[in-house]
Amino acid sequence: MQGYNVILVFSNNFDRLLMCKRKKDPYKGLNNLVGGKSEKNYAY
């Protein structure tokens, strides 16, 4: 079973949340949580 990590970025008083606007289909033009991938043995 694969595990997932979720990180949310929000303001100190919890009134704003960091999101991005999708530029591609599906759901083009809608807001989405920021996402990405991490690779095993990748040095930051």
Residue-wise pLDDT for 1-44, tens only, equals: 777 777 788 899 989 988 999 999 999 999 988 877 777 777 66
pTM reported for the whole predicted model = 0.51
Q: Which residue pairs, CB below 8 angstroms and at least 24 apart, start in 20-24?
A: none
Give the pLDDT of residue 8. Answer: 81
Residues contacting 31, CB < 8 A, separation 6+: 19, 20, 21, 22
